[in-house]
């Protein structure tokens, strides 16, 4: 998405275009209840993303994040939506998802298909942003080896 690298938000928060530093990425995943990842997994996730953004607090500490995985053509998957528990219920996850969706809409060719896996804590947010259940399709995953 074009524009400033940082966008001021409410209460001293700022949206920063790009992923958080690796240590913060790993911390936010773990502390928000997402499955912990190794530094090698986190590094690959950060460098392999179509786009990413994060929110920092008034002290510059990353407190929320998200990223998009994409093929650059038509398929994009939003992942790693995470907010530090001490900063939840302030609309930060919504801001992150809205930015990621706007970024795909702005930079991808028309007709982009945007998906995500909506874990129970985020389902209400995702539905409020227009995401719909893909039934009768079923989300499936191959367990880690």
Q: Is the pLDDT of residue 54 over 60?
A: yes
Give domain limits for the chain: 6-128
Q: Is the pLDDT of residue 96 over 90?
A: yes
How far from the centroid of its chain's Cα atoms is residue 32's Cα? 12
Computed over every residue of the chain, the mean pLDDT equals 94
pTM for the predicted model, two decimal places: 0.93
Dihedral angle sign, alpha carbons of residues 65, 131, 33, 58: positive
Listed residue (57, 102, 99) closest to 81, CA to CA: 99
Please report, rounded to a whole number, the percentage of residues in the chain having pLDDT higher than 90.
Answer: 84
Q: Are 67 and 11 in contact (CB under 8 A)?
A: no
SS3 34: coil
What CATH number does the domain located at 6-128 have? 3.40.630.30
Mean pLDDT of 60-66: 98
């Amino acid at each position: 998405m074009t524009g400033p690298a940082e966008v001021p938000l409410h209460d001293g928060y700022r949206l920063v275009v790009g992923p958080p530093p690796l240590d913060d990425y790993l911390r936010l995943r773990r502390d928000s209840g997402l499955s912990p990842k190794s530094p090698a997994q986190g590094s690959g996730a950060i460098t392999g993303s179509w786009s990413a953004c994060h929110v920092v607090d008034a002290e510059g500490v990353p407190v929320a994040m998200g990223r998009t995985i994409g093929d650059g053509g038509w398929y994009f998957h939003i992942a790693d939506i995470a907010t530090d528990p001490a900063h939840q219920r302030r609309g930060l996850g919504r801001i992150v998802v809205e930015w990621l969706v706007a970024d795909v809409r702005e930079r991808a060719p028309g007709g982009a298909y945007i998906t995500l896996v909506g874990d129970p804590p985020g389902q209400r947010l995702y539905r409020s942003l227009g995401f719909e259940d893909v039934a009768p399709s079923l989300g499936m995953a191959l367990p880690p080896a």
